[in-house]
Protein backbone atom coordinates (compact mmCIF):
# COMPACT_ATOMS: atom_id res chain seq x y z
CA UNK A 1 0.00 0.00 0.00
CA UNK A 2 1.36 3.42 -0.98
CA UNK A 3 2.08 5.91 1.84
CA UNK A 4 -0.43 8.44 0.51
CA UNK A 5 -3.13 5.77 0.29
CA UNK A 6 -2.36 4.61 3.82
CA UNK A 7 -2.96 8.04 5.29
CA UNK A 8 -6.49 8.14 3.81
CA UNK A 9 -7.53 4.79 5.31
CA UNK A 10 -9.90 4.52 8.25
CA UNK A 11 -8.82 2.60 11.36
CA UNK A 12 -11.10 -0.28 10.37
CA UNK A 13 -9.57 -0.43 6.90
CA UNK A 14 -6.05 -0.42 8.32
CA UNK A 15 -6.84 -3.19 10.81
CA UNK A 16 -8.40 -5.30 8.06
CA UNK A 17 -5.37 -4.68 5.84
CA UNK A 18 -2.94 -5.55 8.65
CA UNK A 19 -4.77 -8.77 9.46
CA UNK A 20 -4.43 -9.92 5.85
CA UNK A 21 -0.99 -8.48 5.09
CA UNK A 22 0.99 -9.94 7.99
CA UNK A 23 1.16 -13.46 9.35
CA UNK A 24 1.48 -12.45 13.01
CA UNK A 25 0.06 -9.12 14.23
CA UNK A 26 -0.50 -8.04 17.82
CA UNK A 27 -2.12 -5.08 19.53
CA UNK A 28 -0.12 -3.69 22.45
CA UNK A 29 -2.76 -2.65 24.94
CA UNK A 30 -2.63 -0.76 28.21
CA UNK A 31 -6.45 -0.66 28.15
CA UNK A 32 -6.62 3.11 27.77
CA UNK A 33 -9.33 4.79 25.69
CA UNK A 34 -7.58 4.34 22.35
CA UNK A 35 -6.71 0.70 22.99
CA UNK A 36 -10.30 -0.06 23.96
CA UNK A 37 -11.51 1.46 20.67
CA UNK A 38 -9.09 -0.76 18.75
CA UNK A 39 -10.10 -3.86 20.74
CA UNK A 40 -13.75 -3.16 19.93
CA UNK A 41 -12.90 -2.78 16.24
CA UNK A 42 -10.81 -5.97 16.17
CA UNK A 43 -13.68 -7.87 17.78
CA UNK A 44 -16.24 -6.53 15.31
CA UNK A 45 -14.01 -7.07 12.26
CA UNK A 46 -12.95 -10.55 13.42
CA UNK A 47 -9.43 -9.91 12.13
CA UNK A 48 -6.56 -12.19 13.28
CA UNK A 49 -4.87 -9.63 15.52
CA UNK A 50 -3.85 -10.84 18.96
CA UNK A 51 -3.92 -8.69 22.12
CA UNK A 52 -1.07 -8.47 24.57
CA UNK A 53 -0.27 -6.31 27.56
CA UNK A 54 2.68 -5.53 29.82
CA UNK A 55 2.13 -5.98 33.55
CA UNK A 56 4.84 -3.87 35.17
CA UNK A 57 3.86 -4.98 38.67
CA UNK A 58 2.78 -1.44 39.54
CA UNK A 59 -0.49 -1.03 37.66
CA UNK A 60 -3.70 0.43 39.06
CA UNK A 61 -6.31 -2.03 40.30
CA UNK A 62 -8.75 -0.41 37.86
CA UNK A 63 -6.52 -1.44 34.96
CA UNK A 64 -6.74 -5.09 35.97
CA UNK A 65 -10.51 -4.73 36.24
CA UNK A 66 -10.64 -3.32 32.71
CA UNK A 67 -8.54 -6.21 31.42
CA UNK A 68 -11.05 -8.65 32.85
CA UNK A 69 -13.91 -6.72 31.25
CA UNK A 70 -12.21 -7.24 27.88
CA UNK A 71 -12.13 -10.98 28.48
CA UNK A 72 -15.77 -11.14 29.57
CA UNK A 73 -17.32 -8.75 27.03
CA UNK A 74 -15.35 -9.69 23.93
CA UNK A 75 -14.19 -13.20 24.72
CA UNK A 76 -10.72 -12.27 23.53
CA UNK A 77 -7.62 -13.75 25.17
CA UNK A 78 -5.06 -11.31 26.52
CA UNK A 79 -1.44 -12.44 26.64
CA UNK A 80 0.34 -10.87 29.63
CA UNK A 81 4.09 -10.24 29.75
CA UNK A 82 5.90 -9.58 33.03
CA UNK A 83 9.31 -8.01 33.62
CA UNK A 84 12.32 -10.16 34.38
CA UNK A 85 12.22 -11.02 38.10
CA UNK A 86 15.96 -10.70 38.70
CA UNK A 87 16.19 -7.30 37.03
CA UNK A 88 13.32 -5.92 39.12
CA UNK A 89 14.74 -7.32 42.34
CA UNK A 90 18.18 -5.86 41.63
CA UNK A 91 16.74 -2.44 40.77
CA UNK A 92 14.70 -2.21 43.96
CA UNK A 93 17.52 -3.51 46.16
CA UNK A 94 20.07 -1.10 44.73
CA UNK A 95 17.98 2.04 44.19
CA UNK A 96 14.77 1.63 46.13
CA UNK A 97 11.14 1.78 45.06
CA UNK A 98 11.09 5.36 43.77
CA UNK A 99 14.41 5.84 41.96
CA UNK A 100 12.48 6.87 38.86
CA UNK A 101 11.72 10.24 40.45
CA UNK A 102 15.38 11.08 41.00
CA UNK A 103 16.35 11.62 37.34
CA UNK A 104 15.19 11.04 33.77
CA UNK A 105 17.92 8.41 33.44
CA UNK A 106 16.63 6.49 36.47
CA UNK A 107 13.07 6.72 35.22
CA UNK A 108 14.05 5.38 31.81
CA UNK A 109 15.95 2.56 33.52
CA UNK A 110 12.81 1.57 35.41
CA UNK A 111 10.74 1.77 32.21
CA UNK A 112 13.31 -0.30 30.35
CA UNK A 113 13.18 -3.07 32.93
CA UNK A 114 9.45 -3.07 33.55
CA UNK A 115 8.16 -2.24 30.07
CA UNK A 116 10.67 -2.19 27.21
CA UNK A 117 12.29 -5.56 27.86
CA UNK A 118 8.91 -7.34 28.18
CA UNK A 119 7.72 -5.54 25.03
CA UNK A 120 10.73 -6.79 23.10
CA UNK A 121 9.86 -10.34 24.14
CA UNK A 122 6.25 -9.79 23.10
CA UNK A 123 7.30 -8.50 19.69
CA UNK A 124 9.89 -11.19 19.02
CA UNK A 125 7.43 -13.45 17.18
CA UNK A 126 5.42 -10.72 15.45
CA UNK A 127 5.71 -9.29 11.94
CA UNK A 128 3.76 -6.13 12.86
CA UNK A 129 2.24 -4.52 15.91
CA UNK A 130 -0.61 -2.12 16.45
CA UNK A 131 -0.65 0.80 18.88
CA UNK A 132 -3.24 3.38 19.95
CA UNK A 133 -0.92 6.35 19.52
CA UNK A 134 -2.40 9.63 18.27
CA UNK A 135 -0.53 12.66 16.96
CA UNK A 136 -2.24 15.16 19.22
CA UNK A 137 -1.34 13.30 22.42
CA UNK A 138 2.12 14.73 22.99
CA UNK A 139 4.93 16.71 21.28
CA UNK A 140 6.85 13.45 20.88
CA UNK A 141 4.06 11.96 18.74
CA UNK A 142 3.19 14.67 16.23
CA UNK A 143 5.14 13.03 13.38
CA UNK A 144 3.94 9.44 13.70
CA UNK A 145 2.61 7.75 10.56
CA UNK A 146 -0.30 5.36 10.28
CA UNK A 147 2.08 2.67 9.03
CA UNK A 148 5.80 2.95 9.64
CA UNK A 149 8.93 0.91 10.13
CA UNK A 150 9.71 0.27 13.78
CA UNK A 151 13.18 1.81 13.54
CA UNK A 152 14.70 0.22 16.66
CA UNK A 153 13.45 -3.24 15.68
CA UNK A 154 14.67 -4.23 12.24
CA UNK A 155 12.03 -5.76 9.98
CA UNK A 156 9.08 -4.99 12.25
CA UNK A 157 6.20 -2.80 11.07
CA UNK A 158 4.24 -0.55 13.41
CA UNK A 159 0.64 0.41 12.70
CA UNK A 160 -1.07 3.42 14.32
CA UNK A 161 -4.67 3.30 13.04
CA UNK A 162 -5.83 6.22 15.21
CA UNK A 163 -2.88 8.49 14.40
CA UNK A 164 -5.04 11.28 12.95
CA UNK A 165 -7.99 10.92 15.35
CA UNK A 166 -8.85 13.59 17.88
CA UNK A 167 -9.79 12.83 21.47
CA UNK A 168 -13.38 13.74 20.60
CA UNK A 169 -13.45 11.10 17.88
CA UNK A 170 -12.20 8.51 20.37
CA UNK A 171 -14.80 9.51 22.96
CA UNK A 172 -17.60 9.61 20.37
CA UNK A 173 -16.75 6.08 19.20
CA UNK A 174 -16.74 4.80 22.77
CA UNK A 175 -20.13 6.38 23.49
CA UNK A 176 -21.71 5.18 20.24
CA UNK A 177 -20.46 1.61 20.62
CA UNK A 178 -20.80 1.26 24.40
CA UNK A 179 -17.13 0.37 24.77
CA UNK A 180 -16.06 -0.41 28.37
CA UNK A 181 -13.34 1.87 29.72
CA UNK A 182 -11.01 2.14 32.68
CA UNK A 183 -12.89 3.77 35.60
CA UNK A 184 -9.90 6.06 36.15
CA UNK A 185 -10.88 8.03 33.05
CA UNK A 186 -13.92 9.30 34.94
CA UNK A 187 -11.50 10.71 37.54
CA UNK A 188 -9.56 12.82 35.03
CA UNK A 189 -6.90 10.24 34.13
CA UNK A 190 -6.80 10.54 30.32
CA UNK A 191 -3.52 8.59 30.05
CA UNK A 192 -2.91 5.70 32.43
CA UNK A 193 0.36 3.93 33.16
CA UNK A 194 1.95 2.71 36.36
CA UNK A 195 0.22 3.93 39.51
CA UNK A 196 3.18 5.91 40.96
CA UNK A 197 3.80 7.64 37.62
CA UNK A 198 0.25 8.70 36.77
CA UNK A 199 -1.94 11.45 38.21
CA UNK A 200 -5.19 13.16 37.17
CA UNK A 201 -4.84 16.19 34.89
CA UNK A 202 -6.16 19.67 35.51
CA UNK A 203 -8.59 21.45 33.12
CA UNK A 204 -6.67 22.71 30.09
CA UNK A 205 -3.70 20.37 30.49
CA UNK A 206 -2.78 18.05 27.61
CA UNK A 207 -3.78 14.40 27.80
CA UNK A 208 -0.34 13.18 28.87
CA UNK A 209 0.33 15.89 31.45
CA UNK A 210 -0.40 13.36 34.17
CA UNK A 211 2.39 11.00 33.09
CA UNK A 212 5.76 11.65 34.79
CA UNK A 213 4.48 15.14 35.57
CA UNK A 214 7.79 16.13 37.18
CA UNK A 215 9.58 15.92 33.79
CA UNK A 216 9.79 18.13 30.70
CA UNK A 217 7.02 17.19 28.18
CA UNK A 218 9.65 16.47 25.52
CA UNK A 219 10.93 13.53 27.62
CA UNK A 220 7.57 11.87 28.20
CA UNK A 221 8.11 8.53 26.51
CA UNK A 222 8.98 5.33 28.30
CA UNK A 223 10.85 3.74 25.41
CA UNK A 224 7.99 1.65 24.05
CA UNK A 225 7.42 4.19 21.28
CA UNK A 226 10.87 5.41 20.42
CA UNK A 227 11.16 7.75 17.38
pLDDT digits (tens, 9 = 90+) for 19-61: 999 999 999 999 999 999 999 999 999 999 999 999 999 999 9
**pLDDT at residue number 224:** 54
Average pLDDT over residues 131-138: 89
Half-sphere exposure of 132 (CA within 13 A, CB side): 25
Distance CA 206, CA 213 (A): 11
**pLDDT at residue number 211:** 85
Over 70: is that where the pLDDT of 219 sits?
no
**pLDDT at residue number 42:** 98
Q: What domains can you pick out in the chain, each with its CATH number?
A: 3-219 (3.40.50.620)
Helix (H, G, I), strand (E, B) or coil at 25: strand
**pLDDT at residue number 1:** 60
Average pLDDT over residues 186-204: 90
Which secondary structure element, helix H or strand E, spans residue 3, and what is its range? helix 3-7
Q: Which of 110, 111, 197, 222 is catalytic?
A: 222
State which of 3-17, 27-41, 152-166 shows the largest mean pLDDT.
Answer: 27-41
Which of 120, 111, 148 lies closest to 52, judged by CA? 120
State which of 76-85, 189-198, 211-220 shows the largest mean pLDDT.
Answer: 76-85
pLDDT band at residue 204 under the 50/70/90 scheme? confident
Q: What is the DSSP letter of 212?
A: S
Average pLDDT over residues 115-142: 91
**pLDDT at residue number 24:** 97
**pLDDT at residue number 67:** 96
197: annotated active-site residue? no
Amino acid sequence: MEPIAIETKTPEELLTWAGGEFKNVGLASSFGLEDMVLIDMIHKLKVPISIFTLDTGRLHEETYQTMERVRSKYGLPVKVYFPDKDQVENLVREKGLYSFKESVENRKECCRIRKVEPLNRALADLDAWVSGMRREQNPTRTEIQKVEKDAPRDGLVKINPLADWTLKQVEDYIAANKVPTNPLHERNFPSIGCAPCTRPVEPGEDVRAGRWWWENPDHKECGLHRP
